[in-house]
Amino acid sequence: MRRTDKALLYKGLNTMVICLLCSFAGPSLLYVAFGNPSKPLYWPLMLLGCGICITAIVLGFRGLRHIGDSMFKQNQS
């Protein structure tokens, strides 16, 4: 009978929580940046917001992979 690897499951859930935070922070920064295109911080805020959005996507896939591996991957022992 297969057992869930709890350490890997917690790692995946932790990654998903960070992904959730980035999913809100990235679009919020983009909204602020697009609201003030004439300000000097327009480009840095836009680049930072895009970077955080891309990070959220990557972390989402990594978190789902960790959660799936914790439930379905066979242990080598």
How many CB atoms lie under 10 A from the CB of residue 61? Answer: 11
Residues 6-60 have pLDDT tens digits of 999 999 999 999 999 999 999 999 999 999 889 898 999 999 999 999 999 999 9
d(CA 45, CA 70): 37
DSSP code of residue 74: P
pTM of the model as a whole: 0.86
pLDDT of residue 64: 96
